Amino acid sequence: MVVENRVFRFEPARGERWLPHIARSLSAELPEHSYPLRFSLVSVSEDEVVVEATLVRYEPDGAFAALLGEVELLDPRPKTHQASTFCAVQIIPTGVGCEFGGYAGDATPATNLLAATVDYLVTHPNAVNASELNEMARNVLYVEGKSLDDFLLGHLGLLPVAANKVGTFVDPTGLDYIDDVVNTLGAARTAAGIDCPFYTVLEDELGVRIEWSPSGCAVGLVLRPEVIAAGVRTLLDEGADAIGGVSVIHGVTTEMFEAHQRGEIPNPSGGVEAIITHLVSKLFRVPTAHAPLPYYQDVKPRTKENPRVAAELISTPHYFSVLKGLARAPRLHALESLDDAPRDALTLNNVAAVVLPASSLGGVPALAAELSGIPLIAVRENETVLDVSNDVMRMQNVIEVDSYLEAAGVLTALRSGIALESLRRPIGEAREVGRQRAAVPGRV
């Protein structure tokens, strides 16, 4: 397998919803024997749509060829009804410099606020991981980003569980820190009661490197993805229910991290971590998350000026937040259709709203929400490096709000069945529709 980043340019969707248009356009341009591991619209104009994607190229006779040949994006299954358990999905895109969520764990208070309004809030590790801290509420479901995409495309159900056995893979590049990793596992078992009794050191270095996309997003490359697959298989054979990983991320400089501390660029390592976990999610359909082994001794200057960076500076392996999230992450159930889910599984039919930054409406969650007519709550205050707002997307299901405080109010209204227009002023006059012309006596 080979991982590569590509830029595609398409015509905008005209007269149809975005997801089928982008799926069809991307399918026509994909190289043979390649799978779109992640993608996003990063620029939209009247004449052109720019899509940045990470592809996995594979051999047609490779071990995962049949699985990678199944592209969920080409077979979306729209929501059919609103099921009784009321769920919302919160998205904090990785690598785009979110004002809330662009640093370790700083979107957690907003996440927990939203969770207080619903039965379950489904979100991904980027929203709540904070090195050694993970303070997500009990009704937050911790779902890796690729699995979350496939959940919103109707291909996965989520089965809440009391506990998972977590296995850990370690990039041998970071063996200098193996004691820190093992001590994290020991502390999690001793103090938190987490079932994480084993780990495996991968057979070769992963070669994890950052890259910057043309739009200024943090992406990256994994030079030996097949090594991850082998390590995950070892852990699953040992009995793991969920997979955590730690690896050294190369290419981050002191200048980059200082610029990130000042809020000038996204977290350099966020995008490449997503590639690692997306791959595990696609190949094995298990809960997964990743943490970077420490490179801050060399490149992370100590500072007290930005509290949002603090969680990274008080941690060595950055891994306990992952263990805490994976310990009770929902199991993943592949669906033939939305009608064949296990009784206790949550599916797309439970999703009543999706919440994400107003400038980042170009990813799978936003496009899937539009396809299913799910309200998309777009938060203006969570600014990013992108400018893919509803001004250019023109989706009919978008509810723009200024803040997460307002987003929580919208979720509460939706759950309570209160029309949003009833909470705003002025209220317009009711419209008359469909009146038939009165019959005139004596006229046919």
pLDDT of amino acid 442: 60
Residues contacting 212, CB < 8 A, separation 6+: 218, 219
Determine the 3-state secondary structure of 51 from DSSP: strand
Question: Phi and psi at residue 320, in whole multiples of 5°?
Answer: -65, -35
pLDDT of amino acid 296: 47
Q: What is the largest CA-CA distance in the chain?
A: 97
Q: Which residue has the tokens 């082994």?
A: 293
Distance in angstroms (rounded) separating the CA atoms of residues 174 and 126: 22
Distance in angstroms (rounded) separating the CA atoms of residues 3 and 50: 20
Tokens encoding 230? 């082998």
Q: Give the tens place of pLDDT for each residue, 365-420.
A: 999 999 999 999 999 999 999 999 999 999 999 999 999 999 999 999 999 999 99
| pTM, to two decimals | 0.94
**131 Cα distance to chain centroid:** 18
Query: Do 135 and 156 touch, CB atoms closer than 8 A?
Result: no
pLDDT of amino acid 241: 98
For the chain, give every domain's residue range: 2-74, 94-334
Q: Which residue has the tokens 């094995």?
A: 284
Determine the 3-state secondary structure of 314 from DSSP: coil
All residue ranges of the chain with pLDDT < 70 are: 295-314, 437-444
CA 59 to each of CA 33, 62, 211: distance values in angstroms, whole numbers, following the listed order: 7, 5, 25
